[in-house]
Structure 1
């Protein structure tokens, strides 16, 4: 184990994102690297956004929170929709979300192979204990989808002392939100209940959402076994506003609030339950087993497609995660385990209104996929001296799909009538597909002095093709012969901890092979190759006992690394070279807190040919909180203080002669809240 001085280096690895009092750092516990709680800094790049930061930000959308991790950008769509970038471009397309392992307490939010680009709205991040972010491939305890990164939302543990907290807030466009928390217990039994509901009338015309989230947690501590039992449910009913078209439309006052797709909507619900059981064994061993259940359903009108077809999909899953930890002497720790996930899923798509002849009215897809994922992993840490550490792990995973088409096979409409030219949508015949993959990591840490460590880390990740990439085909493609995407990541960094400053700097090279792409004929193939090289910086400086500056920044270049799209050497679209944020936190009095935040998104290309560009933007946010009496606090949050015109997301489409599309960012907005705790 690390000495207390070396444990303090965790603050450097997590600088700028950790929770703290301004006078002193609080020891931060993390679980994402190994599935069990640890205070040692992992050797891969991991950031933690803690409970105090979550409370201060009080985010209405997850992108407001995750910009506190360097190299991370969650691009907001309309309402609660989003696309993710972690050491990558903002990835789009039905299977792009497979590059990210998104989880609650280590349990993936969606089953392997069935991701959704918006799936973070299934997690109760608003009332989390912390959010842990691994940048780059995950460790041996992760599997498919831990390709570019891991986002793990950790539920809040209940307290023994009875505690109740109620928060209410309001803002522009009829925004309102109510949060309720209660926990109580004793030495052996503790229960916590966390719920929130939000209503947003929407900045855009005919937009807005209603969202509810609930987490119920029961913890048990016995003489031999302990358990953590969590039930989570979410629901979202959203009226979705579509893209606004035209170059620089986000600057046009007449277009900012317009909604070209007033009919669009998204309804989704999810539920998850897990029961984590663990015990200490003889000879310094530890065993953990976590069975779980998972459920999701979604219906949404695809406003971005001609004919705006309705998609309905759902999943039911059951699985178990296991891990066994043992110490071999005083300086070696090993772990190994087995994971199993069994999923039943369905997807249907239907178009009600007639449109272009290649988009036939009626049903386009109706299929079911049963999937099984099984994995074995092993890893360990060897620490011969306090100033030296070697960490390694490997995982082997088998993923099987059993696809059943419930319609006519082929490229005709639902009744077998051909389109004037090939129909857009193709239904392959029943099929079975198997994928066999491995991942691994190797890291080394060496103390250069009492305050500075050097870290070298290598990792390999993968993602199997998603079910939609295999079976939701187009333009006459009857079989998608796809390989698993693979990534190789190498990074080197320095981590320092001084009396008032924690800092880390990391340089990395991330190479992807067999990238799944769609060509100009809308055929799926997996011969793409990309290369990203970058540097990330994380600094936390306690300027005074009551004044702290946190800075997170990254500079990276993402390129197409072969010529399968005819653009080798070009930069990947929607991949800003610069991402940065900074927070100045001031606590002038014991009951007063003020935070000023700056968020920067650099200029970036919007197309593969690198001919269209978005200029980037800078946002300033202000957050104030004032305690009135014991247990009563008021708060004010002002987003986009400078009222900058900007786009949350921008892209350029080539069809129809080409055009710019934007999800327009909201103007200056103020939110007022009150919190009572008793």
Structure 2
């Protein structure tokens, strides 16, 4: 805690020399969109918000979401194979539903059907901008927005005809084709983006195929009325064990090996939405966003295979399907006194879903350790077949006012009413609860303030209450805890943060924040001395840390970017059996420090291109909740370079893990079991051409 305090004092004191008189340099004011679904000055936003702009996305040309997202202070995403990922934002690396993933402000998936891999359903390489709100966010967002919100924004239609073609090849049978094009005719603009990706994988069972299409249509009805329609489709077919862990011996001696032979994931995701906006006057705006989703995932996961004693193993095969219809309605009015702003609205989501799961009997070769085949278990005791219809109704209000010129106060409240209509299509058992209806409600107050010392330096502080409703899997896929899991309640969060933003002209930008978050009523699987396991709202956790970002513009053709975070995640109350209690221990998979440093060089001989050196450092973390074994952490170096042949053609190349460092994407240990390591990608080269036709 002493280290954290010293670092936060540095945050506050570092920018203060800029409090002097402002020079005559024209300032470029940063704006953010996600908080209120409208552009607003960043300096008047009482939250930690970071943006990855389109130019940086084009520079990185990410082959995985982590390549671009890990540049954001306090964000760490790792790979689980293909473009699958596990995220850490003010939380440990986790697959739990504590993050909200948006596309143009609309949730990619329904609250009831969270998937930690949701970013692979978004065409991130074609994004115009990505914004990250860390913490529980504004009143416009509800369940799952705990650790953070990631909003990927599509590119608008070009004003003149434009075509972009980007073929790319890489190591381990990698190839990708990105296509983009569009035009504007009178009051209508269209853009089409296409992504076809294939990877053979650097290790066994790491094949990945994906294609995505995004169509955006912008229409101007009149000077004060417009509409934006987005249609997005993704199809993913991959082996899931490309990120599977190995024993320490195999991790060190044969990292390309896999114990698995028949795992798979097949995903289809379709979304359509239309955003209608009408300015009733200069001070009034109404926004309506009807949307629909359809999603299907067939899954036979490697992580679902487990031992039932001796050389006897089980697994599962499942299908998850849901569709959604929803509406996001918002009204905003500005008032002259104190530059006041009122936003009221409501979010509606109805998402019927179905889940089927079959238990597998798995055969393992004891000499090779490979799981070689499976048959379906004739017993249905551990199978699932149910329908779960999720409905959410969430009104909210958001108020901003400035009682003094430099002071901006924000107050908000959100009320979430959510329900599941669950129908069990099989017999009732300790695994399967009886058909039922469950409902949850939660009131989430928010308050924050910003104060601008000058046009270049501002501070903010906020308190936000948040929550996470139990997912359909939490409630109805009980795994032997049906009698208690069906009675789970929402997890409650109290989040406090304070921060500072500073810039020196248009040359240096600096932002830093400190946060404290407490989660109560977290979901614990408890094993009593006798009887069935129980799923209870009995856990408390504590999360605190700092996040620092520094960017410089080019000086003598050199620019620098630094993202640093320090975090402590611990169990306050976490008793999992009569003999095992993790209270007071640090949470596993929770690295304390995370550093990303970029050095860009843009010499004239690259003809508008650049060279970028990137250093990624991940500190050590506990591999188990008992805090007995640590992963040492790692340092990785990446190199990117581009050269503009002319105004139409760009050549680029990059090397990831330039020094061919041996490292683990994930490292874990459970109880008395052997420690396991998921090997990270070795040195890999990529190269591509971009052809751009148009102005």
Say yes or no: does 1:465 pair with 2:473: no
In the aligned structure 1, how far is the partner of 2:26 from the partner of 2:158? 23
Query: Aligned residue for 1:670?
Result: 685
1:536 to 1:337, Cα distance in 2 relative to 1, 3 A: same
Query: Aligned residue for 2:483?
Result: 478
Write the deviation string for residues 95-126 of structure 1: whole angstroms up to 9, x where unpaired: x1x21111111111111121012111111111
Query: What is the 5 A alignment of 1:84-483?
Result: 84-92=87-95, 96=96, 98-223=97-222, 224-241=224-241, 243-247=244-248, 249-250=250-251, 252-254=252-254, 256-282=255-281, 284-304=283-303, 305-306=305-306, 307-329=314-336, 331-353=339-361, 360-361=377-378, 363=380, 364-411=383-430, 426-480=431-485, 481-483=487-489
Query: Aligned residue for 1:423?
Result: none
1:44 aligned to 21, 44, 47, which one?
A: 47
Query: What is the 5 A alignment of 1:471-550?
Result: 471-480=476-485, 481-499=487-505, 500-520=507-527, 523-542=534-553, 544=555, 546-550=557-561
Write the deviation string for residues 401-438 of structure 1: whole angstroms up to 9, x where unpaired: 01001111114xxxxxxxxxxxxxx1110011000012
Aligned to 2:111, the other structure's residue is in SS state coil
Aligned to 1:473, the other structure's residue is in SS state coil
Write the deviation string for residues 359-416 of structure 1: whole angstroms up to 9, x where unpaired: 95455101010111001000121124442111111100100101001111114xxxxx
Compute the displacement of 1:559 (Å): 0.6
1:354 to 1:478, Cα distance in 2 relative to 1, 3 A: farther
In the aligned structure 1, how far is the partner of 2:299 from the partner of 2:517? 34
Query: Aligned residue for 1:634?
Result: 651
Write the deviation string for residues 46-100 of structure 1: whole angstroms up to 9, x where unpaired: 11011111111111111111111111111211222211111010113xxx1x211
Contact 1:624 1:637 in 2 (8 A): yes
In the aligned structure 1, how far is the partner of 2:91 from the partner of 2:207? 29
Aligned to 2:315, the other structure's residue is in SS state coil
Aligned to 2:361, the other structure's residue is in SS state coil
Contact 2:664 2:680 in 1 (8 A): yes
Compute the displacement of 1:168 (Å): 0.5
In the aligned structure 2, how far is the partner of 1:519 from the partner of 1:28? 48
**RMSD of the TM alignment (CA)?**
2.1
Aligned to 2:585, the other structure's residue is in SS state coil
Contact 1:162 1:182 in 2 (8 A): yes
Say yes or no: does 1:59 pair with 2:59: no
Aligned to 1:156, the other structure's residue is in SS state coil
Q: For structure 1, which segment, 151-160 or 557-566, has the greater mean C-alpha deviation from structure 2 after superposition?
A: 557-566
Compute the displacement of 1:37 (Å): 2.4
Contact 1:354 1:360 in 2 (8 A): no
Compute the displacement of 1:662 (Å): 2.1
In the aligned structure 1, how far is the partner of 2:470 from the partner of 2:74? 25
1:473 to 1:355, Cα distance in 2 relative to 1, 3 A: farther
Aligned to 1:113, the other structure's residue is in SS state helix
Query: What is the 5 A alignment of 1:69-88?
Result: 69-88=72-91
In the aligned structure 2, how far is the partner of 1:664 from the partner of 1:211? 23
Contact 2:512 2:548 in 1 (8 A): yes
Query: Aligned residue for 1:8?
Result: none
In the aligned structure 2, how far is the partner of 1:141 from the partner of 1:206? 41
Compute the displacement of 1:439 (Å): 1.7
In the aligned structure 2, how far is the partner of 1:184 from the partner of 1:384? 45
1:536 to 1:476, Cα distance in 2 relative to 1, 3 A: closer
1:25 to 1:38, Cα distance in 2 relative to 1, 3 A: same
Gaps of at least 5 residues in structure 1 are 1-11, 14-22, 412-425
Contact 2:48 2:499 in 1 (8 A): no
1:522 to 1:673, Cα distance in 2 relative to 1, 3 A: farther
Write the deviation string for residues 486-535 of structure 1: whole angstroms up to 9, x where unpaired: 11111111211112211011111111111112235753221110001111
Contact 1:207 1:262 in 2 (8 A): no
In the aligned structure 1, how far is the partner of 2:452 from the partner of 2:29? 20
1:545 to 1:214, Cα distance in 2 relative to 1, 3 A: farther
1:530 to 1:63, Cα distance in 2 relative to 1, 3 A: same
In the aligned structure 2, how far is the partner of 1:390 from the partner of 1:207? 50
Equivalent residues, number? 635
In the aligned structure 1, how far is the partner of 2:29 from the partner of 2:684? 35
In the aligned structure 1, how far is the partner of 2:85 from the partner of 2:535? 23
In the aligned structure 1, how far is the partner of 2:582 from the partner of 2:36? 39
Contact 1:291 1:319 in 2 (8 A): yes
Q: For structure 1, which segment, 297-306 or 600-609, has the greater mean C-alpha deviation from structure 2 after superposition?
A: 297-306
Contact 1:410 1:476 in 2 (8 A): no
In the aligned structure 1, how far is the partner of 2:143 from the partner of 2:379? 35
In the aligned structure 2, how far is the partner of 1:548 from the partner of 1:354? 54
Say yes or no: does 1:35 pair with 2:37: yes
Compute the displacement of 1:320 (Å): 0.3
1:431 to 1:100, Cα distance in 2 relative to 1, 3 A: same
Compute the displacement of 1:244 (Å): 3.1
In the aligned structure 1, how far is the partner of 2:393 from the partner of 2:545? 34
Compute the displacement of 1:474 (Å): 1.8
